[in-house]
Chain A
Amino acid sequence: MLAMLSGPTPTDAPSTITVKTMLRGEVAVPADHVITFVQPVLGFDRLTTFIIYQTQSGPMYWLQSLEDPTVSFCLLAPYEAGIDPDIELGTEDVIDLGARDHAELTLYTTVVLDDDPALIRTNLRAPILVCRRTGRAKQLVINDTRLPVRLHLKDIKEGRNPFPRRG
């Protein structure tokens, strides 16, 4: 089984589901790792159920659609990569996702991968917010022109980080 996003630890044997993934073919994942978008990934309105998994250690994750096996996003956990977009979440975000507080929320940004490292980029303007406890998720659109739709990660890797993590 793939390393999964940390979720609730069931006391009895969890039920598993089989998921077709773009990267690893069919994999079995605990049913409680399924996440549901209450507000869609823009352009993918009809897709609501996904799983998030990791194939290697580090800040990179995969967001795999359960409804369309060909839809698979690469995600970055920006804080883990030393990027702090300093996004102020509204109370409605917490409420929409059924979170009890901000600590239950994890923010990811979508990544465009490319053979050319100079083109690998992430979107800070429209991050994906997930409540780990409820499994609900949404793509936000942040009204902050400071945040680029295309942040080139080569710059971050080479030490040019306009959004350094504080503390």
Chain B
Amino acid sequence: MLILARRTGESIVIDGVVEVTVLEVGRNGQVRLGIQAPRSHQVYRKELFLEIEAENRVAAHADARAARALGFFDGMGAGGLAADGNADHTPPPQGG
């Protein structure tokens, strides 16, 4: 692991495109970071990354037994969708 010492207001740059700035070092040990990165670089807390990874692993082995739970979904999808499996699955236009 690369270790760099930085003070409040100082930054590091990653790959010339991601800038991480130390905004505040609290007495409670909490550090506030400002991150500037292109939107193609997803930035999120590691806890969230680990939580999603764990949830993916639980979801990843849906088998025939799990498929029986699908009876649960009977009648779902009454939100105006065609329930014939050949519907146009286009989501509504997204903002932005």
Q: Show the binding face of A for B, using Cβ within 8 Å.
A: 3, 5-6, 22-23, 41-44, 54-60, 62, 70-74, 77, 79-84, 86-92, 96, 102-103, 105-107, 110-115, 117, 120, 123, 125-126, 132, 139-141, 143, 149-150, 153, 156-157, 165, 167
B18 vs chain A, min Cβ distance (A): 14
Q: Show the binding face of B for A, using Cβ within 8 Å.
A: 38-40, 42-44, 48-49, 51-64, 66-67, 69-70, 72-81, 83-96
A55, A74, A80: the one within 8 Å of B81 (CB)? A80
A57, A72, A89, A139: the one within 8 Å of B84 (CB)? A57
A54 vs chain B, min Cβ distance (A): 5
Give the residues in chain B near A125, CB-CB below 8 Å. Answer: 48, 52
Contact between A23 and B56, CB atoms less than 8 A apart:
no
Contact between A149 and B61, CB atoms less than 8 A apart:
no
Given A22-B64, A74-B62, A150-B55, check contact A6 B86 (CB 8 Å): yes
A91, A113, A115, A165: the one within 8 Å of B79 (CB)? A165
Given A22-B62, A88-B96, check contact A57 B83 (CB 8 Å): yes
Contact between B76 and A156, CB atoms less than 8 A apart:
yes
Instruction: Return the 5 tightest CB-CB contacts between A and B, nearest first.
Output: A82-B79, A113-B66, A43-B53, A80-B81, A74-B62
Give the residues in chain A near B58, CB-CB below 8 Å. Answer: 112
The CA-CA distance from A12 to B42 in the complex, in Å, is 41
A97 vs chain B, min Cβ distance (A): 12
Contact between A90 and B39, CB atoms less than 8 A apart:
yes
Contact between B84 and A87, CB atoms less than 8 A apart:
no
The CA-CA distance from A96 to B63 in the complex, in Å, is 31
A60, A77, A149: the one within 8 Å of B52 (CB)? A149
Contact between A62 and B62, CB atoms less than 8 A apart:
yes
A105 vs chain B, min Cβ distance (A): 7
Looking across the interface, which residue of chain B has its beta carbon closest to that of A54? B85
Contact between A44 and B55, CB atoms less than 8 A apart:
no
Give the residues in chain B near A88, CB-CB below 8 Å. Answer: 94-96
Given A42-B53, A106-B90, A143-B44, check contact A22 B73 (CB 8 Å): no
